[in-house]
Structure 1
Amino acid sequence: MNKFCKALSVVLVNALVCASFQLAAQPTSELGKQTFNTCSVCHLPTGEGVPGSFPTLRKVTLVAEQEGGKEYLMSVVLQGLSGQIKSNGATYFGYMQGFAASFTDKQVAAVLNYVLTDLAEEKLQKEDVISESDVAIVRNKIKEGHWPKSSVLRKNLAMP
C-alpha cells in the first residue's frame, strides 16, 4: 500500500471514530430527534402519520401508560409490525420494518422518548421515560427467542 493510501486510511478511521464519539456524546433529546428522521419518512416529521398506511404517533402516550405498553413500543421499533391494525378509529395496512439491526439501545430509547415527550399530544413525564437498559432487556429477550411478536403484544393493549 502506498503512503497516500495509508494516510487516507488513517484519516477515514479517525473520522469514523470521531463520528461515533460525537453520536455517543450527543444529548439524548437531540439523538431522539435525529433518529426520528428515519421514522418521519413514514410517520411524517410531525408524527401525524399517513391515513390508511402509517398511524399517527401523536396519541402513543395512551399506549405507553398501559401495563406492557412501553415494552410493546420497544418491540415495534426493534421487531417491526406488519398486517392490518386499527388505531384511533382507522384501519392501517402499512408495514413497519424492525430496526434492531440499525438502531442501538440508546437510539431506540431516545427516539421513543422523543415521540413520547415531544411529539405526543399528551406528554409523558420525564421520570417515566424509557431507558437504554429497558431496551437492552427487550432486545435480549427477542434475541433469545423469549419474546412474542409485536402483533401478539398489541392484542393485550387497549389501543386508542
Structure 2
Amino acid sequence: MLCTAVSVLSFSTSLYAEDQSGKQTFATCSACHLATGEGIPGAFPPLTKLPDIFEQEGGKQYLISVVLQGLSGPITSQGNAFSGYMQAFGPSLSDSEIASVLNYVLTNVAKPSLDDSSPISENDVSIVRAKIAQGALAKSHTLRKALTAP
C-alpha cells in the first residue's frame, strides 16, 4: 500500500514538474502568441485550436516540427492570414522542454483542451528531431499543407 502511495505521489509530482516546465517555457511563446494563446492578428496565429491539428494523422509530428524547425511563410489559421516568423527552437530547447511546452499548450491553453496530461512524450520529440537531422522530414510549412488547419 505504501509503495502504491509513493508511486502515485511520484507520478503526480512528475506531471506537476512537467506542467511547470511547460508553463515556464511558454513564457517565451507568449511574447508572440500572448499568454492566452490568442495570437496577434496578421502576425502570429492563435494556439487555442492546436488539438484540432494534433488529432489529425501527422498532426503531432507537425506540431513538434514547428517548435524544432520553426515556421516561416504565410499561413491561414481559423480563416485568417498570418505572416509572422517563428524561429526554430530545436537548437535551444531539449526534447523534454519541447514536449513539456507542447503539452502545456494542448492541455492548458487550448480551448477545448486535450484531456490527456502528456499527449506528447520526450521520445516523440526525439524521433522527430532525428528525422530532421537525417533530412527525412519536410519543413514545417510543407507538413502543414498535408493537414486540415483550423
If the TM-score is normalised by the length of the shorter chain, which range does it land in?
Answer: 0.7 to 0.9
Match for 1:83: what amino acid?
G
C-alpha displacement of 1:125: 2.2
Q: Please say if residues 103 and 118 of structure 2, whose CA atoms lie closer than 8 Å, have aligned partners that are also in contact.
A: no
Distance 1:40 1:56, change over 3 A: same
> For residue 9 of structure 1, what is the aligned residue in structure 2?
none
Measured on the aligned residues, the alpha-carbon RMSD in Å equals 1.4
Q: Structure 2 stretches of 5 or more lacking a match?
A: 1-13
C-alpha displacement of 1:128: 6.2
Match for 2:63: what amino acid?
L
Matched length: 136
C-alpha displacement of 1:122: 1.4
Q: Secondary structure at the match of 2:86?
A: strand
Q: Structure 1 stretches of 5 or more lacking a match?
A: 1-23
* Higher mean displacement: 64-73 or 126-135: 126-135
2 CA distance for matches of 1:33 and 1:127? 13
> For residue 17 of structure 1, what is the aligned residue in structure 2?
none
Q: Please say if residues 107 and 117 of structure 2, whose CA atoms lie closer than 8 Å, have aligned partners that are also in contact.
A: no
> For residue 111 of structure 2, what is the aligned residue in structure 1?
121
C-alpha displacement of 1:127: 6.2
Identity of aligned residues (%): 56
Q: Please say if residues 48 and 110 of structure 2, whose CA atoms lie closer than 8 Å, have aligned partners that are also in contact.
A: yes
Q: What TM-score, normalized by structure 2, do the two folds share?
A: 0.88
C-alpha displacement of 1:145: 1.0
Moved over 3 A (4+): none
1 CA distance for matches of 2:128 and 2:82? 26
> For residue 57 of structure 1, what is the aligned residue in structure 2?
47
> For residue 88 of structure 1, what is the aligned residue in structure 2?
78
